[in-house]
Amino acid sequence: MTSHAMNTDTFARHLRQDGMTFRIGPFWAHIRSALHGLASGLHLLYDNNPMAPRQPFCDFHVTITTGEGFHRFYRPQARFFFNGHMPFKPLPLDQALALFEWGLNWCISSNAHQYLILHSAAVAKDGHAVLLPAPPGSGKSTLCAALIHRGWRLLSDELALIDLDTLEITPLCRPVNLKNKSIDIIGEYAGNAVFAPLAKDTLKGTIGLLKAPADSVARMNEKARPAWIVFPQYQAGAATRLTDRSKAQTAMEVGDNAFNYSIHGVRGFDALTRLVDRCACYDFEYENLDEAIDVFSGLTP
């Protein structure tokens, strides 16, 4: 079932008592929390994902609680637990939903070593995928959000899961993490965009979690073949420009953007070099989103 089958209060009660199990891409994540604000955010953002109160096996067991002692009342906090351990420092209570998203990124990137995991957005059309690896502040998530509201399918905003043998990308369809000015830009650009309540004054500024399109979630079992690797860079006042980049430079920077490349050793090197060889590789500067969409519409595998 999905959370469409229950109202927010019923969902919150399940989350508080025995927890809820979510299907998120290839993973099952069991989440338990008594934080009503977190429950409301999860109910909004994940209401198209399969879920159940109980599941025989889960990949990740996550609990999010309030702070201890005086932090239950003074400057209240949210704490993230994975398998009973707290890997991060607490955050302010009103950042609990962002903490969940960041924490789940850590769970996946630290444990799902059946994949080569790239710090990259990924979108697909007609079975062919674009990888968008880039550091924070590059406009990667803004571009990703625009593309998925103009006919592209969301595979992932943060973690691209690459099959080490076939190189296919397994969808990890979750909310898109937008920051600061990007929230207003996409809010205006995509009139049907759905955001959870904003998390303000985080270490990254204001965070807006954008709900994944229902069609992308429904197709989470549909893998895509990588065809392009594009390094985006948002520049105020920049002309829209797509330029070729060398395979050698691309391989080095994709490796730098991989979470577990070194863990896989020779197999990881082989997968990464085959991935780069398969794809057309570009740098992309942009400011105007309509022009950016036109450029991506012209990509041919």
| Residue 77 to residue 20: CA distance in whole angstroms | 22
| Residue 286 to residue 15: CA distance in whole angstroms | 42
Q: What is the pLDDT of residue 134?
A: 84
| 3-state secondary structure at position 157 | coil
Q: Which residues have a Cβ under 8 Å from the Cβ of 85 and sit 6 or more positions away?
A: none
The answer to whether 167 and 225 are in contact (CB under 8 A) is yes
Strand 60-66 and strand 27-33: the pairing is parallel
Q: Tokens 């025989």: give the residue.
A: 56
Task: Give the strands of the sheet with 27-33, arranged side by side.
Answer: 51-52, 20-24, 27-33, 60-66, 77-82, 91-92
- Convert 145-173 to b/e letters by CB count within 10 Å (16 or more is b): bbbbbbebbbbbbbbbbbebeebebbbbb
| Residue 251 to residue 115: CA distance in whole angstroms | 17
| Nearest CA among 171, 223, 222 for reference residue 26 | 171
Instruction: Please report how the helices 36-45 and 8-17 are oriented relative to each other, as an axis angle in degrees rounded to 10.
Output: 120
Domain residue spans of the chain: 3-111, 115-297
Amino acid sitting at position 214: A
Q: What is the pLDDT of residue 6?
A: 76
| 3-state secondary structure at position 77 | strand
For the entire predicted model, the pTM comes to 0.94
- Tokens in use for 90? 């607490």
| Nearest CA among 263, 279, 249 for reference residue 122 | 279
| Nearest CA among 176, 219, 218, 173 for reference residue 196 | 176
| Nearest CA among 46, 36, 45 for reference residue 10 | 36
- Tokens in use for 16? 């508080």
Q: Along the 301 residues of the chain, how does pLDDT read in single tens digits?
A: 655 667 899 999 999 999 999 999 999 999 999 999 999 999 999 999 998 777 778 999 999 999 877 666 778 999 999 999 999 999 999 999 999 999 999 999 999 999 999 999 999 999 999 999 988 889 999 999 999 999 999 999 999 999 999 999 999 999 999 999 999 999 999 988 999 999 999 989 999 999 999 999 999 999 999 999 999 999 888 899 999 999 999 999 999 999 999 999 999 999 999 999 999 999 999 999 999 999 999 999 8
- The Cβ-side half-sphere exposure at 176, using a 13 Å CA radius, reads 33
Q: What is the pLDDT of residue 152?
A: 98
| 3-state secondary structure at position 163 | strand
| Nearest CA among 7, 4, 93 for reference residue 51 | 4
| Residue 103 to residue 135: CA distance in whole angstroms | 19
